[in-house]
Structure 1
Amino acid sequence: MPELHIEPLAEPLWPLLNKFYRSHNSPMKAQKGGRLWVARDSEIVAGLCLTQVVGGQFLTGVFVDPAYRGQGLAARLIRQAVAEVDGTVWLLCHPDLEGLYQRIGFSQDTVLPQSLSERLVRYKRNKPMIAMGLQSPE
C-alpha cells in the first residue's frame, strides 16, 4: 500500500470530506461538532467522523474509496482516530460489517447511551443494523 497520511481534518477543510463522500455517491456527511479524520494519498481516500456522546464517542461516516479497499485502510484509520479517545467508541452498522469491526476490537457486547439506543431503534425500522462498542484502554 502506498504511504498514506492519516490525520485529523482541520475544521475549515471539512467541506472536502463531504465532497469526497458525494464523489462516491455516498449518503454520508461530516457531522458538525464532530472530529473528522481522513487518509490522504494526493487527495482524500478515506474518512470518518467521531462525535461526542455521553460516555464516549459515536463513530460514523467510515468510508474508503473503492480503489483503496481490501488493504486494511479502514482499520488503520479507525485505530488512529480512536487511539486517544476516553470512554467507549460506539458505532451502528449493517450486520455484514460485523467481522471488519470485530477485527479492530469492537464487540456487540456493549451498552449504548440512550441517544444511540433510540437512534438504533429508528434505523432498524428501515434496515438491519447492529450496535458495537470499543472500550478505550485504561
Structure 2
Amino acid sequence: MTAIIYAPLEAALWPLMNKFYRTHQSSMKAVREAQLWVARKEGIIAGLCLRPMAHGHWLTGLFVAPALRGQGVAGDLVSQAIAAVDGPIWLFCDPQLQGFYEKLGFSLEVELPHALHERLVRYQRNKAMIAMGLTPWCADPDQETAPQ
C-alpha cells in the first residue's frame, strides 16, 4: 500500500490543485499568493490553501477526494500545514464542522483581521458560516496556556 505524503505544492505546479478541485466538481480555487498543501497518494487526494493575511494565515480550500473521506486525511493535512507557518490561522466553515476543527486546536473565540471580518459578514448573507482561529501556542493540544 502506498503511503500518503503531506507536503507543500511547488508554485509551478499550482494548476494541478485547480485541476484536482475541478475533477471533483468543487468550487474551490487555488490562488498563487497562497501556500498550497496537498496530500498525495498516486496523485493529489486532498488540498488546502494558506493565504497570508494580516499577521497570520487564512486557511481556505480544504477538500478531500470523496472516496477518501473519513480516513483522517483532512486532519493530517491541516496539522502538517499549520505546523509549518508562524502566526495565527483563521478559517471559515459550516457550523457542522466546528467539532472537527476543535479537535485540531481551533476555537470560536477568535479575533479576525478587519478584512476577514468583512468577508465573513458577506459570506454569512448567503449561507451559515462560522469563523474559527488558532494561535501558535494553541497548536500543541498538550499545552494549555500561552508560553511566558
Q: Give the TM-score normalised by structure 2.
A: 0.90
Residues 1:85 and 2:82 aligned together? no
Structure 1 residue 84: Cα displacement: 2.6
- Structure 1 partner of 2:140: none
Q: Distance in 1 between matches of 2:2 and 2:69?
A: 13
Q: Distance in 2 between matches of 1:77 and 1:39?
A: 6
Structure 1 residue 32: Cα displacement: 2.0
Amino acid at match of 1:127: K
Aligned Cα RMSD in Å? 1.2
Q: Flag the structure with larger Rg.
A: 2
For residues 52-101 of structure 1, give each alpha carbon's deviation from its aligned partner in whole angstroms, at most 9, with x where no partner exists. 11121000000000111111110100010010321110001111111111
1:7-46 matched pairs, under 5 angstroms? 7-46=7-46
- Structure 2 partner of 1:58: 58
State the secondary structure of the residue aligned to 2:85.
coil
Amino acid at match of 2:54: V
For residues 26-64 of structure 1, give each alpha carbon's deviation from its aligned partner in whole angstroms, at most 9, with x where no partner exists. 000002200000000001000000011112100000000
Q: Distance in 2 between matches of 1:84 and 1:13?
A: 19
Q: Give the TM-score normalised by structure 1.
A: 0.96
Kindly indicate whether the alpha-carbon contact (under 8 Å) linking 2:11 and 2:32 is maintained by their aligned counterparts in 1: no
- Structure 2 partner of 1:124: 124
**Runs of 4+ more than 3 Å apart:** none
Structure 1 residue 2: Cα displacement: 5.0
State the secondary structure of the residue aligned to 1:79.
helix
Change (3 A) 1:69 1:2: farther
Kindly indicate whether the alpha-carbon contact (under 8 Å) linking 2:7 and 2:38 is maintained by their aligned counterparts in 1: yes
